[in-house]
């Protein structure tokens, strides 16, 4: 059973497993305005299907997910709920509601009564890491990369799962640098369950999914709800509210406006290249680098 090929998330069921496939391969499955809702709809569909015991989330093409498709938003300022050159007033509550909706859509993977497994190849970065880390279990290819580069400027991970999976020190190591790590390191650190050689990734995930699929749905739901409650007791929901508010602020702070103006002047690719290179990002914004600065 395969879903409409025009959806950003394809849906298929086989042997008690629902396969959700992020389906924007030409953009490395970058998140557009439809994808969060499509993920939530597919999760609901799997939860409503008595034949499904476990959900596998994967990406079509060369990557799991490269994050939000921000080229247009960064280069012209639209898609950030105000605060463009033509509309200098930012509406923080509108921004919060907008991004919290996306976060809640991603988190249907965590709240799903049926277990979810992310199968990560290529990249799961920026918003793509939010999606992967919303799943109960993550299995990566050893050469795949995961990280949240916008932590350097213009972003805060709204699902806040880094600290809950890594602990404070390693979460700080990742979010104070915006670095990415490979699948092997992510597994060694406990960020993800397992890492497999790329050629073995499919088989490793199938083995795990088949093992889970043999358990009655009621048993799976009760074990998952019990474990998730422990995270709720630690304040997960409140942390996500704070993270989502901060995400909006990062896009409208002086440094965030500097990044957007950089993208508008030189293109999003050049702005990201500067951000990820480790070059200084000026406190309080400041002048956008010149073309000569980019060549140095």
Cβ–Cβ < 8 Å for 256, 153: yes
Domains belonging to the chain, first-starting first, are 9-252 (3.90.226.10)
In 93-159 the beta strands, taken as DSSP E runs, fall at 116-120, 123-125, 137-141, 145-147
pLDDT per residue as tens, the chain (296 positions): 344 558 999 999 999 999 999 999 999 999 999 999 999 999 999 999 999 999 999 999 999 999 999 876 776 665 455 555 555 689 999 999 999 999 999 999 999 999 999 999 999 999 999 999 999 999 999 999 999 999 999 999 999 999 999 999 999 999 999 999 999 999 999 999 999 999 999 999 999 999 999 999 999 999 999 999 999 999 999 999 999 999 999 999 999 999 999 999 999 999 999 999 999 999 999 999 999 889 88
pLDDT at 88: 67
Return the structure tokens found at 61. Answer: 């093409």
* Backbone φ and ψ of 66, nearest 5°: -95, 10
Rounded (10°) angle between helices 254-266 and 268-277: 130
CA 116 to each of CA 43, 179, 231, 270: distance values in angstroms, whole numbers, following the listed order: 9, 26, 17, 36
Please count the residues of the chain. Answer: 296
């Amino acid at each position: 059973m395969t879903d409409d090929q025009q959806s950003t998330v394809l849906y298929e069921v086989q042997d008690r497993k629902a396969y959700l496939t992020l389906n924007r391969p030409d953009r490395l499955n970058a998140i557009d305005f439809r994808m969060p809702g499509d993920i939530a709809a597919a999760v609901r569909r799997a939860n409503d299907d008595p034949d499904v015991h476990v959900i596998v989330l994967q990406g079509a093409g060369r990557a799991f997910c490269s994050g939000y498709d921000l080229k247009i938003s960064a280069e012209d300022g639209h898609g950030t709920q105000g605060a463009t050159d033509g509309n200098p007033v930012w509406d923080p509550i509108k921004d919060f509601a907008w991004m919290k909706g996306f976060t809640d859509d991603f988190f249907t993977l965590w709240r799903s009564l049926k277990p979810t497994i992310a199968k990560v190849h290529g990249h799961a970065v920026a918003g793509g890491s939010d999606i992967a880390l919303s799943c109960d279990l993550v299995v990566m290819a050893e050469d795949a990369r995961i990280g949240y580069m916008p932590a350097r400027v213009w972003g805060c991970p709204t699902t806040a799962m880094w600290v809950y999976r890594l602990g404070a020190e390693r979460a700080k190591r990742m979010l104070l640098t915006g670095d990415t790590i490979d699948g092997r390191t992510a597994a060694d650190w406990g960020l993800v369950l397992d890492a497999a050689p790329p050629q073995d990734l499919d088989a490793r995930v199938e083995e795990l999914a088949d093992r889970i699929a043999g358990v009655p749905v009621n048993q799976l739901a009760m074990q998952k709800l019990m474990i998730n409650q422990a995270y709720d007791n630690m304040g997960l929901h409140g942390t996500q509210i704070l993270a989502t508010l901060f995400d909006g602020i990062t896009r409208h702070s002086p440094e965030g406006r500097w990044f957007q103006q950089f993208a508008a002047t030189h293109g999003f690719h050049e702005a990201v290249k500067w951000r990820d290179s480790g070059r200084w990002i000026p406190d309080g914004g400041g002048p956008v680098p010149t073309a000569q600065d980019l060549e140095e």
